[in-house]
């Protein structure tokens, strides 16, 4: 897109660029990915949103994108990971801000084979400033911090925003619809609400992914 800054030098400049890129219904995936990759992670930009918890990873809202996208910082303590999950027909961009993250992608389970183990398609490791992209047509994924000594943080963009997703049991392909929540919004802790999901998946609860 002409006149758009695809080399933002700060998180605030990146947010301004994203608002322009998502001003229309047509999303240029390459431009969004380029802008997120070209922003060099600076902890001073995002540390106010970074909240690490011992028992689970956290989702921390940074910007609501005028209703067209949600931008958030996810914080992963050592060894933490998500369940296998969908993205409710949304675009999903994930940029590593610090540390290392492993993404495992899976095929959607066939309706007639709901009790079979899920098929893994790929496994990729992403380092600082690298960006991954997925949507439901490409499959499902699980994200985890593979390190048992270092924490990780990532910047995620979802467009359009969604309030629920499907979580899958890797052993059986069985799914469960779970609500998504934020640990904090704009650097402030959100009120605690009990999970509305059920324990279909043995991995950490899906409402925080």
**How many secondary structure helices (H) and strands (E) does the chain include?**
3, 13
Please check if 85 is assigned to a binding site: yes
142 located within any domain: yes
125 located within any domain: yes
33 located within any domain: no
Q: What is the pLDDT of residue 191?
A: 86
128 located within any domain: yes
Q: How many CA atoms lie within 13 A of 167 on its CB side?
A: 24
Q: What is the mean pLDDT of the chain?
A: 92
Q: Which among 202, 194, 196 has a CA at the least distance from the CA of 174? A: 202
Q: What is the pLDDT of residue 193?
A: 58
Domain that holds residue 138: 50-185
Q: What is the pLDDT of residue 60?
A: 98
Please check if 87 is assigned to a binding site: yes
29 located within any domain: no
Please check if 148 is assigned to a binding site: no
**Distance from C-alpha of 150 to C-alpha of 18, rounded to nearest angstrom:** 30
Residues of the chain with pLDDT below 50 are 194-209
Q: What is the pLDDT of residue 198?
A: 29
22 located within any domain: no
CATH number of the domain within which 140 lies = 2.60.120.10
10 located within any domain: no
Looking at the 3D structure of the chain, how many domains does it have? 1
Q: Give the tens place of pLDDT for each residue, 148-169.
A: 999 999 999 999 999 999 999 9
68 located within any domain: yes
* CA dihedral sign of residues 82, 84, 90, 96: positive
Helix H or strand E segment including 30 = helix 29-38
């Amino acid at each position: 897109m002409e006149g758009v800054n695809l080399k933002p030098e700060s998180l605030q400049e990146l947010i301004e660029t994203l608002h322009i890129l998502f001003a229309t219904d047509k999303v240029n995936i390459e431009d969004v990915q380029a802008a997120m990759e070209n922003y060099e992670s600076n902890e001073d930009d995002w540390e106010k949103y970074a909240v690490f918890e011992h028992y689970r990873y956290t989702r921390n809202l940074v910007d609501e994108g005028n209703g067209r996208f949600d931008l958030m910082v996810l914080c992963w303590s050592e060894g933490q990971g998500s369940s296998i999950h969908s993205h409710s027909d949304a675009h999903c961009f994930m940029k590593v801000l610090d540390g290392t993250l492993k993404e495992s992608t899976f095929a959607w389970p066939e309706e007639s084979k709901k009790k079979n183990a899920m098929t893994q398609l790929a496994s990729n490791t992403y380092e600082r400033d690298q960006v991954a992209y997925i949507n439901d047509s490409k499959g499902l994924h699980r994200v985890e911090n593979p390190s048992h000594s270092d924490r990780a943080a990532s910047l995620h963009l979802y467009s359009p925003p969604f309030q629920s997703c499907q979580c899958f049991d890797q052993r059986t392909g069985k799914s469960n619809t779970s609500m998504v929540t934020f640990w904090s919004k704009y650097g402030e802790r959100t009120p605690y609400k009990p999970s509305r999901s059920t324990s279909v998946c043995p991995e950490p609860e899906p409402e925080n992914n």
